[in-house]
Structures are given as C-alpha cells and as structure tokens.
Chains A and B, each alone.
Chain A
Amino acid sequence: GESVGLHLPTLSVQEGDNSIINCAYSNSASDYFIWYKQESGKGPQFIIDIRSNMDKRQGQRVTVLLNKTVKHLSLQIAATQPGDSAVYFCAEGQSWGKLQFGAGTQVVVTP
C-alpha cells in the first residue's frame, strides 16, 4: 500500500481554471477506481468512479481518465471554484469492502 507523509502534495489553482489531479495505483489487477473529496472536519465524499473496462468517464464538471498501461488515474475538474478546495483521494477496489487509498492531494483554489 501507499503511506502518507505529514505533507500532502499541493495543487494551487486559480478560480475558473481547470484542475488536474494525478494518482498512480499499485495493483494492475484492480478493476475499480474511485475519487473522493475530503473537506476539513468531514468524511470523504464520493465524486466519481470508473471501472477498468473504461478509459474515461464524465460527471458534472469532473472527468476521470484511466491509463491501465502505466497504472495512472487522473481527475480533471473544470472551472475550479473556491468550494473545490479540499483534499482529493484516489482509491482502488481490492476486495470485498476494501478500498486502497492513495496519499491524497491538497487542492487550494485562489481568487
């Protein structure tokens, strides 16, 4: 699994710009991936998911891209807003009820 240091990578984005958050996953056999957003003092909030038989999936203002060849996942947020400031986690489904989480990326939206 992956461990998280005390300092999360930070992505600073200007309001209105697009954000791209990247994630590398570990298990080439994983068939399910999910992105969560966690605001301070709250539990992770589901954003979007994708199965391994897809390369791309779109939601409202968000797009997830999956590159199985290099085991890479990305989350794109269009027209980033101040309310998008949070920590974003990718996770891969490994077995019953278990998600393996990445380290997380702190997104800071500046006016």
Chain B
Amino acid sequence: KAGVTQTPRYLIKTRGQQVTLSCSPISGHRSVSWYQQTPGQGLQFLFEYFSETQRNKGNFPGRFSGRQFSNSRSEMNVSTLELGDSALYLCASSSGLAGPYEQYFGPGTRLTVT
C-alpha cells in the first residue's frame, strides 16, 4: 500500500506571496491532518479534514487554510507569506473513524520564505 505523498517536496517563495501544498493520504484513509515543524516550536497542529469538512483547527492565523476533496486528497494554502512561515509542513493520514489515532506522515514539504 502506498504511503502518504506530499508535493512539492521543496518550495522557495518570497514574502507576500501565497503557496499551495498538496497531500495524498493512504488509500482508504479519510482523515488528513496538517502540521508545521520548526526548530523553535517543534511540531504544531494546523488543522484536520475528514470527508471534506474541517473537523479540528489549531492556533494559527487565518492566512493558513485548507481543504479536502472527495477523493480525500487535501491541500493547504498560506497567503501573504511571512519569513516566519519557513518550515517543514507535514501532513498525516488516518482512518479518521476514532479520534486522532495512528496517524501516518508524509515526507513533508520544505517551504523557505525569503
């Protein structure tokens, strides 16, 4: 069974631009969670989508948004990029049928904002 895939793997953007990251979950998984990982803050939860609905959200500004499609693929968007948005963005998939259990992570998208 294929794992979680994320595209692109690397991105370089300029302050003020926007970016869209994509995540394809493990086949059969309906939940996709997104996390931001930085050296200073560690792994922080952004939001979770299940059956095309945002079911949970972390403490990030509204510049961070996401969506999920009917095939469970998910995208996250960051608008008006700031230098502090430079991070590894990870998505994780799970069955979504019971709490946060057993999330499987993709390799991440490394975003650099200059």
Contacts and interface: CB of A to CB of B under 8 A. Distances in A.
Interface of A: 1-6, 31-32, 34, 36, 41-46, 49, 89, 91, 93-104
A97 B31 CA distance: 7
Contacts of A91: 43
B33 A98 contact: yes
A96 B42 contact: no
A93 B101 contact: yes
Contact of B108 (A6, A43, A96, A97): A43
A65 B35 CA distance: 26
Query: Interface on chain B toward A: helix, strand, loop, or mixed SS?
Result: strand
Given A42-B107, A44-B90, A101 B43 contact: yes
Given A89-B43, A98-B48, 5 more contacts: A4-B41, A43-B4, A96-B50, A96-B96, A97-B45
A103 B42 contact: yes
Interface of B: 4, 31-33, 35, 39-45, 47-50, 55-56, 58, 90, 92, 94, 96, 99-108
B26 to A, nearest CB: 12
Contact of A97 (B33, B43, B104): B33
B50 to A, nearest CB: 7
Contacts of B31: 96-97
B33 A43 contact: no
Nearest to B38: A4
B90 A96 contact: no
A43 B89 CA distance: 9
